[in-house]
Amino acid sequence: MKIEVIPSILVRTSDKLRSQLKKISKYFEKVQIDIADGKFVGNKTIQAASFKGIKPKIKLEVHLMVKNPEKYINDWKKVGAKSLIFHYEACRNEKKVNEVIGKIKKNKMKIGIALNPRTSAKKIKPFLKKVDTVLLMTVNPGWQGQKFLMSQLKKIRQIRKWNKKIDIEVDGGLKPGTACLAAKAGANKLVAGSFVVRHKSVRKALDELKKDVRCLK
């Protein structure tokens, strides 16, 4: 499968959002916006209202690290998000997971389900045919700059074994070295936050990641 690098933005202010969007937009087709409510994870970031007056020149994928993700769907639809990713752990049961999937689908956005490092891959197996993307956290969610958890490679391999066609995104600690490992395990979408946005040159960061995943050839 073709490997795509997706930058992620995790910020607390509209000014930071503007500056990071400007920094990365010319090099990527899509950006992941990380949204934290201060409850599901300890950190708290911008929300949909922060996009007022901002018209991104890049496709938006929104990663909801929040409780009650269904309450956020309409706001992000209005912003123009093309896909929404919610956490399995934010739902009380399978019924709730299906409810969130249904609401995202009704709003004609792509559907992603995310899994924290401590959650078994088996938990989302029943939903693989209902979503477009599985996002596997390879760090504990909420903050950028953490170390890649090697234990999650097994989970990537397991989900790829179950489903050959689904998009598997990996988020957390992606840089040269870990990008190759994630791709070899079966991930085809690599979400890179701190390595890209904190790099002196976004172009060089992207080139380094692309070079690393050539390990597949």
pLDDT surpassing 80 at residue 144: no
Q: Which position has the higher pLDDT, 70 or 198?
A: 70
182's enclosing H/E stretch is helix 178-185
Secondary structure (3-state) at 64? strand
Domains of the chain with bracketed CATH? 4-216 (3.20.20.70)
pLDDT of 35 reads 97
Helix (H) or strand (E) segment spanning residue 63: strand 59-65
Which member of 34, 37, 167, 212 is catalytic? 34
pLDDT score of 143: 75
- Residue 145 clears pLDDT 80, i.e. is over it: no
How far is CA 217 from each of CA 4, 110, 157, 205, 212, rounded to the nearest angstrom?
15, 30, 18, 20, 11
Is residue 15 flagged as an active site residue? Answer: no
Give the pLDDT confidence of 180-206 residue by residue, as tens digits: 999 999 999 999 988 998 888 999 999
- Selecting among 37, 171, 207, 212, the annotated active-site residue is 171
75 is catalytic: no
Task: Place 37 in a pLDDT band, splitting at 50, 70 and 90.
Answer: very high
Beta bridge partners of 36: 65
pLDDT, tens only, 73-126: 999 999 999 999 999 999 989 999 999 999 999 999 999 999 999 999 999 999
Distance CA 161, CA 168 (A): 11
